[in-house]
Structure 1
């Protein structure tokens, strides 16, 4: 029994953060608690993460098992979803969020940079970084919606019927995955830079309500981006790469 438990512990230590969250999204709450990146940095093992952050691996594993102790509903079991359904979910949920909120957040960021930049110069840099995120997102979402996702659906449909997928689709999927994965890293680095500049979105004492709302919206944007990129990097992209 003790040997079995030791083997389970070793397997968990060798598992990546992305694998934990892909298997059960509820474990993301544990990693978020300790500031562990589970989307863009999801390919790092639990043991390496604990060493880097100075965390107790046994304690982290206990917290993971605690959040997993309740039965998972299918609505949270993203790894079990069909590829086409997952792609549509990402578009209808996360792409829709970006389309509805990115412009407003950029406007707020520029407003507080104009009003508070003299005493809080970090908000000027935050506005500049967010402008680049917003600009980069336009082409990124178009690539996913018009190129990658339709190709993935075609190849997946062919696989289900036993029809060999077209070679051009397979080659294009590989190229698109590489491009989008690189862009995810750049966007992830940018949003981490914003969090650092904003001191984890702590609100200074001498600011207006718009400043408060802007930091709240930036935190909301980051939270949505983490789940969005996780669903793509750790689930959809990995499955698409095996088609």
Structure 2
């Protein structure tokens, strides 16, 4: 379970806790440009009681990973089929749709300028990252781990940080996935798809960072 405190920044919480980004969006809390703000300050600025917001986030933390398989091999399979395959499939249509929206609505004040480039960078980052997990790290885990497993786990955590920075860019260029009044069907479909993709990727990284990776101790054994 991820511990949440009022001293944490909203940026950190949104990047690490599944569901937090959507909760912040609904509350009107900007966790991208103003992401350095402490949770307590962000709550007050949004007209919310800090303890109430903290309680909502703690409920998310309590639920995070609850439905993930307990068996390590089953959890790996879940990550592969629920997240790896899904990310690949969704980016295949999100990128051209983002390019279309940028091209057609480039003159609009709310246009997501640079979104397609960010998604391409994210696709390239994830392509290599997921391949390294599938070809190196996960097979090591299925065999029970070795003393050499600490390095690839550290590398995967580092790459997760890079992906989180790109997700922050997605939130920035889309104005926290805010649609303008009268947005067309393509723009609406793009942001609907992005909202799912972003939340999925945060959940994916959480399951690895907080559930799967800690199963392997310093000696490399599950």
Number of the residue aligned with 1:129:
118
Q: Which residue of 1 aligns with 2:52?
A: 59
CA contact (8 A) 1:191 1:222 kept: yes
Closer/same/farther in 2, CA of residues 64 and 51 from structure 1, 3 Å limit = closer
Deviations 1:6-58 (A, max 9, x none): xxxxx9759x99xxx9xxxxx955675246xxxxxxxxxxxx96446456564
Note if contact 1:116-1:207 (Cα within 8 Å) is conserved in structure 2. Answer: no
State the match for 2:175 in structure 1: 199
Aligned residues: 196
1:152 is paired with a residue of what secondary structure? helix
Shift of 1:117: 1.6
Instruction: Go from structure 1 to structure 2 and tell me whether the alpha carbon gap of 1:145 and 1:193 turns closer, same or farther (over 3 Å shift).
Output: same
CA distance in 1, matches of 2:41, 2:147: 37
The gaps in structure 2 that reach 5 residues or longer are 26-36
For residues 208 and 59 of structure 1, the distance between their equivalents in structure 2, rounded to whole angstroms, comes to 36
2:203 aligned to which of 227, 230, 243: 227
Distance 1:187 1:223 in 2: 13
Deviations 1:105-161 (A, max 9, x none): 0110111111112334752311111110011111111011111001011125xxxxx
Alignment of 1:143-222 (within 5 A): 143-155=132-144, 169-171=146-148, 173-205=149-181, 207-222=183-198
2:66 to 76, 99, 106: 76
Question: Is the 8 Å Cα contact of residues 90 and 228 (structure 1) preserved in structure 2?
Answer: yes
The answer on whether the counterparts of 2:43 and 2:53 sit within 8 Å (CA) in structure 1 is no
Cα RMSD (Å) of the superposition?
Answer: 3.5
Q: Using structure 2 for the length normalisation, give the TM-score.
A: 0.73
Q: 1:174 to 1:61 in 2, by over 3 A?
A: same
Q: Distance in 2 between matches of 1:136 and 1:124?
A: 20
CA distance in 2, matches of 1:68, 1:188: 18
Measured in 2, the distance between the counterparts of 1:66 and 1:174 equals 31
Q: 2:77 matched to which residue of 1?
A: 88
Q: Which has the higher helix share?
A: 1
| Aligned match for 1:106, one of 87, 92, 95 | 95
Q: Tell me, in whole angstroms, the C-alpha distance in 1 between the residues paired with 2:143 and 2:76.
A: 12
* Bigger-Rg structure (1/2): 1
